[in-house]
C-alpha cells in the first residue's frame, strides 16, 4: 500500500500504517547506506528543490544527501524569511520555481502553515522540513526509527520530551507520531515552556527532571534556543542547566535510559558533555538514520503516480 | 479464476534444481569462488535450495545473498502500483567473486538489468552468471541466461506463476491465461 | 422628485411604529405622507413595489476602517461608503488608524470633504492620543469641534493607565465616548487564540486574558473617572461577564461585537487561511455562546463590522506575517439576520436596536423618527431573501473575507438618505 497522502506536512493525523510503511522502507535505505556505493538510481529524472527560508545546515544537508543518493536532481534555495518579506512574495517564488518544472519541494520556513499553503498554490509534492513552531515530521520519524532500532518496537515505550516544548516543532511531531504508534509520551520542562492544555494531546506533564529520568525509557532532549532567554521564558542558562540539564549524576537513577537529541547540542546547557558523549545517547545514530528516513519519504512520495 | 495449467510439479522442480546444481559446479570447475545471489522474492528460495544441493554434492556451504532490485527498476513512471521495497541482505564481500544470480522467470530482461546495476553498486565481481528457472521469451534487452531450468514459450496474454513451499505452500509452476482485453 | 415606497412594513421601535402594508410618499427626500397614498400621486411618482419589505431607521456601522488617507489602494472614503450603502448602511463611523492618524481638525475636514454629497454619512472617530502613540493627548476639544463623534486608539488599547485616565477625564467635558480596543500589548505577540488549537497549529498564542485585563482596567477607570467607555469588538466569555457586572453596577459602559465573533470559532484556523486571521482572534465555541448570551441580555449593545480592508498581496503572506482583519460592511446584515434573527436569538426589534438605535445613541447621532417633514433615512430589509455572498459584486476595494460563497438569509434591499437612494446596485437621486 502506498502512503495515503502525496505530501508530508506533519504527523498530526497521519495513520499508523503510513508511519509503519515509512519506518519499514527506511530499513531498505539504511542498508543502502552501508554499501560501498551509497547511491541508487530510483529518482533519476526527478527534480527536487530544497527551499530553506531559515538557516538549517543539518536538515538541509541530510535532505540533500538523501536526494542525491536517490539520483534525483537537487537545487538549493536559501533565503532568510525576513529578506523574503521585503522582496518577492512567497507565492511568486513558488510559482516561478514550479514553472521550471520541478517535482518536489522540501520547505523550511519560520511561519507555521507555510507548507500547507504551498499545497494550495502548486502541484509539486511538498515535504515539511520544519515550519515555525509547528511540525518537523522527518525529525520525529528519524527519532522513532532510531528508537525502533534500539527497542524493537514503539508500542508501550515510555518517552519523555524535555525542554522548550512550547516552541518546539520537534516536540509536537514526536508527540503525534509516538502516540499514534502506541508509545506513552510525557513532557518535562520549566512551566513557562510547556504549552497550556498540552495534556489534551494525551501526554503527561512533569516539572521534575529526576522523576522524568526515573519513569521513562527514553528522554528526547530538545535544544534550548538561546533567544528564548531573551523572551524571559527562563531566568538564566545557569538555572536551566542546574534544574533541567541532563547530567551523568542524574542518569544514575536510571542507567539504562536512552537519550535522543535533535542537535545541534548546547553542551553544558540542556545536556552535559559527559552525557553527550556517553553510552546512553544515540545522537549520531539519529543523524545516520535521518538520511535513511528522508530517502524513504522521498522514495515513497517521489514514486507515487 | 483465470485458466491455468500446471507445467512443472514438485518432483519436476526438484529435478531441475538438481541438474542445475551439477551444471553450476561443472561449468565453474568446483565451487571455491562461487557465491549465490537470489533475487527477491522467489529467487531467494531457489538460491537457498541450490545451496543445499551443492552442499550435498560438494560438502561446501556457499555464501548466500539476497538482492532486492526495486530501487533499480525503470518502470516507476509507467506502472500504476508503487512497488514495495525491501532490504537486500549481502553479508559478504562480492569483489572478485563469481556470482550466480538466481531468479524464477526471465521475461523482458529488465529485472535482470536492474539486478546487474544493483550488484555493481556492491562491488566488482569477477563474473556474473544467470540462472533462470523458467525462460518465457519476449526479451526486450540483450540478456540471456547461463542456466535455464525450462523454456516455456508463451504469448503476452499468458503468465508464468512459480509457487514454492516456502511462501506459497506448494511446489509447482503454472501457465496462466490472462483475460484478453 | 416624488417617490412612493408601496406596501412596506414600517418598523421603528424607538417611535413605536409597527405598520404593515402601508405606503410612504417622499417628496425630494422628505417624508410627506405615510399610509394610503392618493391614486393621483402615483401618476407623477416613481413607485417601488416593496411587497412587505421592512423599512427601518437607517443602519449604522460604528466600527469601520476606511484606510484613507494612507492606504487608498485598499479602500477610500468613497469606496468604503459605497460598500456601506451596498451593505445596507446610511451612516458609518470611521476609525482613526489611518496614515496620518485622525488626530487633527485638518484630517477630520479632509474626511468630511470627501464624504459630502454621498448617500452615506461618515462620522470620524478621532485618535485619543497624538499619532495613536499612547503618549500625548490628542487635541480633543478641537477634534470634537471639528466633528469627531468618539475617541479611540483602535488597533491598540490606550497605552497606559495614566493616559487613559486623562482621556476619560478630558473627554467627559464633551461627553465623548472612548472606544477601546482591549488588548494588553505585552501579552499580544500571537497570531491566534491561545488554546490546544494554537499548540496544534504551531501558531504563537494570543491569550484571552489579554483582552480581559484591559476590559477590567477600563471598567475600573470608567467607574473612577465617570467617563464613558465603549468596548470595541468584545470576544471573550470573561470580558462579557465583566461588562455585564459593570452595567449592573451602573458604570457608564457599552460594548459591541462583530459578526465573525458570533459566527466563527478558532477551529476555522486549521486551514491556515489568512481570512480567518483577525484581532481579537476567533475564539472558542464557549466564547461564541457567551457572545450570543450577551447579545440576548443586552450586555452587548451593538453589532459592528470592524471592516478592515487589506490588499490581496498582504493577505497572501505567510499566516504569521499576514495582517489582521476582514472586510464586513457587505456581509454584516446578512450574517446578523441569518445567525441571530432567523435562529430566533434576537427579534427584529433587537436587530434594529443593535444595528441602528443603540450605536446612534452612543455616538449621539439622531435616530430617525419617521415623522412627516423629516428627511428619509431608511434601511429597507428583505428578511427572507436567500442569497449567496459573491465577493466579485462587492463595492469595497478589498476582497478579504472568509464569507465568500456563504449562503445567507436576509439582506438589505436598499437604503435612502441625503436625497439619494441605493437600490438595484446603483445610486439614484430622489
Domains of chain C: 2-55+371-398+406-429 (2.30.40.10), 59-363 (3.20.20.140)
Are A134 and C318 in contact (CB < 8 Å)?
Answer: no
Pairing mode, strands C54-57 and C407-417: unpaired
Q: Is C306 a catalytic residue?
A: yes
Spatial contact of C33 and C373, defined as CB atoms under 8 Å apart: no
Q: ipTM above 0.90?
A: yes
pLDDT of residue B79: 66
Are C203 and A91 in contact (CB < 8 Å)?
Answer: no
CATH class of the domain comprising B11-152: alpha beta
- Phi-psi region for residue C380, left (φ > 0), alpha (ψ -120 to 50) or beta? beta
Taking the C-alpha atoms of residue A239 and residue A245, their distance in angstroms, rounded to an integer, is 9
* A16-136+287-302: CATH topology: Rossmann fold (3.40.50)
Local mean pLDDT, 10-residue blocks, chain C (430 residues):
95 96 96 91 92 97 97 97 98 98 97 96 98 96 98 97 97 97 93 96 96 98 97 98 98 98 97 96 98 98 98 92 97 98 98 98 98 97 98 97 98 98 95
Residue A81 confidence class, pLDDT cut points 50, 70, 90: low
Second CATH level (architecture) for the domain A137-284: 3-Layer(aba) Sandwich (3.40)
Is B139's pLDDT higher than 80? yes
Are C194 and A117 in contact (CB < 8 Å)?
Answer: no
Taking the C-alpha atoms of residue B161 and residue B118, their distance in angstroms, rounded to an integer, is 25
A62, exposed or middle or buried, with CB in 10 Å at 0-12, 13-18, 19+? buried
- Taking the Cβ of residue B93 and every Cβ of chain A, the question of whether any pair is shorter than 8 Å is answered with no
For an interface test with A, which of C199, C269, C274 has the most A Cβ atoms less than 10 Å from its Cβ? C199
Taking the C-alpha atoms of residue C59 and residue C412, their distance in angstroms, rounded to an integer, is 10
CA distance B140 to chain A (A): 20
- E strands, B60-145, are 64-67, 98-106, 127-135
- Taking the Cβ of residue B77 and every Cβ of chain A, the question of whether any pair is shorter than 8 Å is answered with yes
pLDDT of residue A84: 54
- E strands, chain A, are 47-52, 73-78, 104-109, 125-131, 158-162, 184-188, 204-206, 218-221, 258-260
Taking the C-alpha atoms of residue B62 and residue B29, their distance in angstroms, rounded to an integer, is 14
Is A1's pLDDT higher than 90? no
Model pLDDT for residues A172-231, shown as the tens digit of each residue: 999 999 999 999 999 999 999 999 999 999 999 999 999 999 999 999 999 998 776 667
pLDDT of residue C189: 86
- Residues belonging to chain C with any Cβ–Cβ distance to chain A shorter than 8 Å: 194-196, 198-205, 271-272, 313, 316-321
Q: What is the dihedral of CA A198, A199, A203, A206, to 10 degrees?
A: 90
Are B82 and A28 in contact (CB < 8 Å)?
Answer: no
- Taking the Cβ of residue B85 and every Cβ of chain A, the question of whether any pair is shorter than 8 Å is answered with yes
Residue B84 CB coordination number (10 Å): 14
Name the residue among B73, B76, B86 with its Cβ closest to that of A28: B86
Residue B133 confidence class, pLDDT cut points 50, 70, 90: very high
Which contiguous run of DSSP H or E holds residue C171?
helix C161-172
CA distance A37 to chain B (A): 5
Name the residue among A81, A135, A196 with its Cβ closest to that of C202: A135
Do chain C and B touch: 3 or more Cβ pairs under 8 angstroms?
no
Taking the C-alpha atoms of residue C196 and residue C313, their distance in angstroms, rounded to an integer, is 30
Q: Which of C61, C154, C218, C306 is catalytic?
A: C306
pLDDT of residue A226: 79
Is A83's pLDDT higher than 70? no
Tell me which chain B residues have a C-beta less than 8 angstroms from the C-beta of A36: 121-123
pLDDT of residue B179: 76
Q: Which residue does chain C place closest to A116, by CA atoms?
A: C272
Amino acid at each position: 500500500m502506498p502512503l495515503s497522502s502525496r505530501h508530508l506536512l506533519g504527523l498530526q493525523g497521519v495513520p499508523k500504517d503510513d508511519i509503519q510503511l515509512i519506518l519499514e522502507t527506511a530499513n531498505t535505505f539504511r542498508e543502502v547506506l552501508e554499501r560501498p556505493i551509497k547511491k541508487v538510481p530510483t529518482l533519476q529524472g526527478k527534480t527536487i528543490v530544497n527551499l530553506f527560508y531559515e538557516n538549517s545546515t543539518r536538515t538541509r544537508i541530510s535532505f540533500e544527501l538523501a536526494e542525491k543518493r536517490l539520483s534525483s536532481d537537487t537545487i538549493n534555495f536559501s533565503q532568510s524569511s525576513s529578506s523574503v518579506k521585503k522582496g518577492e512574495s512567497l507565492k511568486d517564488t513558488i510559482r516561478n520555481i514550479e514553472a521550471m518544472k520541478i517535482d518536489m519541494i522540501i520547505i523550511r520556513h519560520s511561519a507555521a502553515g507555510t507548507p500547507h499553503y504551498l499545497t494550495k498554490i502548486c502541484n509539486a509534492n511538498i515535504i515539511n522540513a520544519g515550519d515555525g513552531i509547528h511540525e518537523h515530521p522527518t525529525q520525529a520519524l528519524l527519532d522513532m526509527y532510531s528508537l525502533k532500532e534500539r527497542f524493537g518496537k514503539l508500542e508501550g515505550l515510555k518517552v519523555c520530551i524535555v525542554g522548550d516544548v512550547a516552541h518546539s516543532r520537534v516536540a509536537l511531531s514526536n508527540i503525534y507520531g509516538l502516540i499514534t504508534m502506541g508509545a506513552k509520551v510525557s513532557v518535562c520542562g520549566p512551566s513557562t515552556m510547556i504549552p497550556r492544555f498540552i495534556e489534551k494531546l494525551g501526554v503527561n506533564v512533569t516539572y521534575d527532571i529526576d522523576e522524568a529520568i526515573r519513569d521513562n525509557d527514553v528522554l528526547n532532549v530538545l535544544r534550548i534556543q538561546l533567544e528564548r532567554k531573551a523572551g524571559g521564558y527562563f531566568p538564566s542558562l545557569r538555572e536551566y542547566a542546574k534544574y533541567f540539564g541532563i547530567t551523568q549524576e542524574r542518569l544514575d537513577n536510571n542507567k539504562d535510559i536512552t537519550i535522543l537529541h535533535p542537535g545541534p547540542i548546547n553542551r553544558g546547557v540542556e545536556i552535559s558533555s559527559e552525557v553527550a558523549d556517553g553510552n546512553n545517547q544515540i545522537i549520531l545514530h539519529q543523524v545516520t538514520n535521518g538520511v535513511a528516513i528522508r530517502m524513504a519519504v522521498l522514495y515513497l512520495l517521489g514514486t507515487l503516480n | 479464476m483465470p485458466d491455468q495449467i500446471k507445467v512443472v510439479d514438485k518432483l519436476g522442480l526438484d529435478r531441475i534444481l538438481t541438474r542445475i546444481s551439477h551444471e553450476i559446479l561443472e561449468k565453474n570447475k568446483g565451487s571455491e569462488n562461487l557465491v549465490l545471489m537470489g533475487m527477491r522474492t522467489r529467487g531467494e528460495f531457489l538460491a537457498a535450495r541450490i545451496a543445499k544441493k551443492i552442499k550435498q554434492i560438494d560438502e561446501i556451504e556457499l555464501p548466500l545473498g539476497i538482492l532486492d532490485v526495486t530501487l533499480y527498476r525503470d518502470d516507476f513512471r509507467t506502472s500504476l502500483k508503487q512497488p514495495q521495497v525491501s532490504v537486500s541482505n549481502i553479508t559478504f564481500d562480492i569483489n572478485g567473486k563469481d556470482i550466480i544470480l538466481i531468479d524464477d522467470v526471465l521475461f523482458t530482461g529488465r529485472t535482470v538489468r536492474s539486478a546487474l546495476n544493483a550488484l555493481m553498486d556492491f562491488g566488482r565481481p569477477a563474473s556474473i552468471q544467470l540462472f533462470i528457472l523458467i525462460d518465457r521469451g519476449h526479451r526486450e534487452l540483450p540478456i540471456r541466461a547461463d542456466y535455464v531450468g525450462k523454456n516455456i514459450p508463451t504469448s503476452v496474454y499468458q503468465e508464468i506463476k512459480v509457487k514454492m513451499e516456502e511462501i506459497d505452500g506448494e511446489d509447482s509452476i503454472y501457465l496462466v491465461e490472462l483475460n484478453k482485453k | 422628485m416624488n417617490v412612493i415606497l408601496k406596501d412596506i412594513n414600517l418598523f421603528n421601535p424607538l417611535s413605536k411604529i409597527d405598520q404593515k402594508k402601508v405606503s410612504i410618499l417622499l417628496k425630494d427626500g422628505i417624508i410627506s405622507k405615510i399610509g394610503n397614498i392618493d391614486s393621483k400621486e402615483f401618476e407623477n411618482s416613481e413607485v417601488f413595489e416593496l411587497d412587505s419589505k421592512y423599512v427601518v431607521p437607517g443602519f449604522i456601522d460604528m466600527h469601520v476602517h476606511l484606510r484613507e488617507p494612507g492606504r487608498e489602494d485598499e479602500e477610500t472614503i468613497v469606496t468604503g461608503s459605497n460598500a456601506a450603502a451596498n451593505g445596507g448602511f446610511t451612516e458609518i463611523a470611521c476609525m482613526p488608524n489611518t496614515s496620518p492618524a485622525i488626530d487633527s481638525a485638518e484630517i477630520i475636514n479632509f474626511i468630511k470633504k470627501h464624504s459630502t454629497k454621498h448617500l452615506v454619512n461618515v462620522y470620524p472617530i478621532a485618535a485619543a492620543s497624538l499619532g495613536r502613540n499612547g503618549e500625548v493627548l490628542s487635541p480633543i476639544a478641537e477634534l470634537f469641534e471639528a466633528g469627531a463623534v468618539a475617541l479611540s486608539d483602535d488597533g491598540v488599547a490606550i497605552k497606559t493607565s495614566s493616559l487613559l485616565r486623562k482621556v476619560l477625564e478630558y473627554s467627559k467635558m464633551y461627553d465623548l465616548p472612548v472606544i477601546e480596543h482591549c488588548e494588553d500589548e505585552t501579552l499580544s505577540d500571537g497570531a491566534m487564540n491561545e488554546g490546544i488549537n494554537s499548540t496544534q497549529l504551531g501558531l504563537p498564542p494570543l491569550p484571552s486574558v489579554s483582552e480581559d485585563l484591559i476590559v477590567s482596567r477600563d471598567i475600573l477607570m470608567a467607574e473612577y473617572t465617570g467617563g464613558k467607555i465603549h468596548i470595541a469588538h468584545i470576544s471573550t466569555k470573561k470580558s462579557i461577564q465583566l461588562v455585564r457586572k459593570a452595567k449592573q453596577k451602573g458604570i457608564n459602559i457599552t460594548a459591541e461585537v462583530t459578526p465573525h465573533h458570533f459566527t466563527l470559532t478558532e477551529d476555522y484556523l486549521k486551514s491556515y487561511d489568512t481570512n480567518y486571521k483577525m484581532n481579537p482572534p476567533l475564539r472558542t465555541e464557549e466564547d461564541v455562546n457567551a457572545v450570543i448570551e450577551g447579545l440576548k441580555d443586552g450586555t452587548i449593545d451593538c453589532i459592528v463590522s470592524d471592516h478592515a480592508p487589506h490588499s490581496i498581496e498582504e493577505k497572501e503572506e505567510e499566516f504569521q506575517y499576514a495582517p489582521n482583519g476582514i472586510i464586513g460592511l457587505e456581509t454584516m446584515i446578512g450574517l446578523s439576520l441569518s445567525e441571530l434573527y432567523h435562529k430566533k436569538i434576537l427579534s427584529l426589534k433587537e436587530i434594529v436596536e443593535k444595528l441602528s438605535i443603540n450605536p446612534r445613541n452612543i455616538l449621539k447621532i439622531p435616530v430617525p423618527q419617521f415623522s412627516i417633514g423629516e428627511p428619509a433615512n431608511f434601511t429597507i430589509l428583505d428578511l427572507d431573501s436567500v442569497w449567496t455572498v459573491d465577493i466579485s459584486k462587492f463595492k469595497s476595494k478589498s476582497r478579504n473575507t472568509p464569507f465568500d460563497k456563504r449562503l445567507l438569509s436576509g439582506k438589505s434591499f436598499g437604503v435612502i438618505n441625503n436625497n439619494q437612494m441605493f437600490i438595484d446596485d446603483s445610486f439614484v437621486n430622489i
